[in-house]
Amino acid sequence: MNSPMIRVILGHIMKIEAAFMLLPCIVAVIYGENVGWTYLAIACITALLGVFMTLKKPADSVMYLKEGSVATVLGWVVLSLFGCLPFYFSGEIPSFTDALFETISGFTTTGASILSDVEALSHTALFWRSFTHWLGGMGVLVFLLAIVPLSGGSTINLMKAESPGPSVGKLVPKIKATARTLYLIYTALTLMQIIFMVIGGCSLFDAVNLSFATAGTGGFGVRGDSLASYSPYIQWVVIVFMILFGVNFNAFYLITLGKIKDALHVEEVKYYLLIILSSTAIIFINIFRTCKGIEEALRTSFFQVAAIITTTGFATADFDTWNTTCKIVIVMLMFVGACAGSTGGGIKVSRFIVMFRTIKKEMNTYIHPKSVKKIMLEGKPVEHEVVRSINVYMGTYIMIFAISIFLVSFNELDLITSFTAVATTINNVGPGLNLIGPTCNFGFLTPFTKYVLMIDMLAGRLELFPLLILIQPKVIKGFFERRPKVKKAE
Amino acid sequence: MLTINKNKSGLKIIIVGCGKVGSTLVEQLTQEGHDITLIDKDPARIQAITNAYDAMGILGNGATYSVQKEAGIDDADLLIAVTDSDELNLLCCTVAKRVGKCVTIARVHTPEYSKEAKYLKDKLGLEMIINPEYECAKVISRILYLPTAEEVSSFAHGQVEMVKIRLPEGNKLDGKRVMDIGHDIMANIVFCGVERDGQVFIPSGQFILKEGDLISFVASRYDTKRFLGKIGFKTGQVKDTLIVGGGKGSFYLADMLIKSGIEVRIFEKIKERCEVLSVLLPKAIIINDDGAGEDALKEAGLETVDAFVPLTGIDEENVLLSLHAKQVSNAKVVTRISRNNFKGILDNMDLGSVVYPKYITSDAIIAYVRARQNTKDSNIETLYKMFDSKAEAIEFKVESESDLTDTALMNLKLKDNLLIAFINRHGEIIFPGGHDEIHVGDSVMVVTTHTGFNDIRDILR
Q: Kindly state the percentage of chain A with pLDDT values over 90.
A: 49
Cβ of A153 within 8 Å of Cβ of B3? The answer is no
Contacting residues of A for B55, CB less than 8 Å apart: 153, 173
C-alpha closest to that of A138 among A78, A196, A217: A217
Residue B115, pLDDT score: 78
Contacting residues of A for B43, CB less than 8 Å apart: 383
Q: By CB neighbour count within 10 A (0-12 exposed, 13-18 middle, 19+ buried), where does B210 fall?
A: middle
Q: Does B224 touch chain A (CB under 8 A)?
A: no
Smallest Cα distance from B55 to chain A, Å? 5
Q: For chain B, list the domains and their CATH numbers.
A: 12-130 (3.40.50.720), 136-140+147-230 (3.30.70.1450), 240-355 (3.40.50.720), 368-459 (3.30.70.1450)
Residue B299, pLDDT score: 84
Residue B1, pLDDT score: 27
Cβ of B10 within 8 Å of Cβ of A174? The answer is yes
Cβ of B56 within 8 Å of Cβ of A154? The answer is no
Backbone angles phi, psi at A383, to 5 degrees: -60, 145
Please give the Cα distance from B262 to B240 (Å, whole number): 5
Q: DSSP for A150-193?
A: --SGGGHHHHHHHS-SSS---SSSSHHHHHHHHHHHHHHHHHHH
Q: Does B126 touch chain A (CB under 8 A)?
A: no
**Could you report the per-residue pLDDT of A140-177, keeping only the tens digit for each?**
888 888 877 665 556 777 777 777 666 666 777 778 88
- Contacting A residues, span 271-290, partner chain B, CB-CB under 8 Å: none
Residue A194, pLDDT score: 95
Question: Nearest by CB to B50, which of A151, A156, A172?
Answer: A156
Cβ of B54 within 8 Å of Cβ of A5? The answer is no
Residue A375 has pLDDT above 90, yes or no: no
Please give the Cα distance from A386 to A167 (Å, whole number): 7
Cβ of A151 within 8 Å of Cβ of B50? The answer is no
Cβ of A151 within 8 Å of Cβ of B2? The answer is yes
3-state secondary structure of B179: helix
A379: Cα within 13 Å, side-chain hemisphere: 4
Please give the Cα distance from A470 to A71 (Å, whole number): 9
Residue A277, pLDDT score: 95
Higher pLDDT, A188 or B170: A188
**Could you report the per-residue pLDDT of A203-258, keeping only the tens digit for each?**
999 999 999 999 999 888 888 888 888 999 999 999 999 999 999 888 888 888 88
Residue A166, pLDDT score: 63
Q: By CB neighbour count within 10 A (0-12 exposed, 13-18 middle, 19+ buried), where does A18 fall?
A: buried
Instruction: Determine the straight-line distance between the first and last CA of chain A, rounded to whole angstroms.
Output: 28
C-alpha closest to that of A162 among A471, A462, A467: A462
Cβ of A154 within 8 Å of Cβ of B52? The answer is yes
Residue A153, pLDDT score: 58
Question: Nearest by CB to B1, which of A57, A173, A174?
Answer: A57
Please give the Cα distance from B34 to B13 (Å, whole number): 7
Cβ pairs A/B, distance under 8 A: 59
Cβ of B1 within 8 Å of Cβ of A155? The answer is no
Please give the Cα distance from A183 to A189 (Å, whole number): 10
pTM of the model: 0.79
Average pLDDT over residues A96-108: 93
Residue A488, pLDDT score: 53
C-alpha closest to that of A232 among A185, A200, A254: A200
Secondary structure letter of residue B215 according to DSSP: E
Q: Kindly state the percentage of chain A with pLDDT values over 70.
A: 96
Contacting residues of B for A170, CB less than 8 Å apart: 50, 56
Residue B5, pLDDT score: 37
Question: Nearest by CB to A153, which of B3, B12, B30?
Answer: B30
Task: Find out whether A84 and A286 touch, Cβ atoms under 8 Å.
Answer: no
Q: In sequence order, which residues have a C-beta less than 8 Å from that of residue B124 and are 6 or more positions away?
A: B90, B93, B94, B97
**Could you report the per-residue pLDDT of A417-434, keeping only the tens digit for each?**
999 999 999 999 988 888
Cβ of B52 within 8 Å of Cβ of A172? The answer is no
Q: In sequence order, which residues have a C-beta less than 8 Å from that of residue A147 and are 6 or more positions away?
A: A16
Contacting residues of A for B2, CB less than 8 Å apart: 8, 57, 61, 148-151
Best mutation site among B54, B66, B79 for testing chain A: the one with the most A CBs within 10 Å?
A: B54
Task: Find out whether A84 and A78 touch, Cβ atoms under 8 Å.
Answer: no
Average pLDDT over residues A324-338: 92
Best mutation site among A54, A60, A151 for testing chain B: the one with the most B CBs within 10 Å?
A: A151
C-alpha closest to that of B72 among A254, A158, A60, A184: A254
ipTM metric:
0.73
B56: Cα within 13 Å, side-chain hemisphere: 22
Residue B213, pLDDT score: 86
- Farthest-apart Cα atoms in chain B, separation: 65
Question: C-alpha distances in angstroms, B34 versus A59, B11, B28, B29, B455?
Answer: 24, 5, 9, 6, 17
Please give the Cα distance from B445 to B456 (Å, whole number): 9
Q: Does B30 touch chain A (CB under 8 A)?
A: yes
Question: Could you list the pLDDT tens digit for every one of the 461 residues in chain B?
Answer: 233 334 446 788 999 998 888 888 888 888 878 889 999 988 888 888 888 888 888 888 988 888 888 888 888 888 999 998 989 999 999 889 888 788 899 988 888 887 787 888 888 888 888 888 888 898 899 888 888 888 888 877 778 888 888 888 888 888 888 888 877 777 788 888 888 887 888 888 788 888 888 888 888 888 888 888 888 888 788 889 999 988 888 999 999 999 888 999 999 989 999 998 888 888 888 988 877 788 888 888 888 888 999 998 888 888 999 999 988 888 889 998 887 677 778 777 888 888 888 788 888 888 777 777 665 445 777 777 787 778 888 888 887 787 788 888 888 888 888 888 888 888 888 888 778 888 888 888 888 888 778 778 788 87
Task: Find out whether B109 and B43 touch, Cβ atoms under 8 Å.
Answer: no
Over chain A, what is the mean pLDDT?
88
Q: Does B347 touch chain A (CB under 8 A)?
A: no
Q: Does A386 touch chain B (CB under 8 A)?
A: no
Average pLDDT over residues A85-107: 93
Higher pLDDT, A159 or A486: A159
Q: Does A379 touch chain B (CB under 8 A)?
A: no
State the DSSP H helix or E strand holding residue B428, giving kind and residue range, or none if neither: strand B428-430
Residue A353, pLDDT score: 92
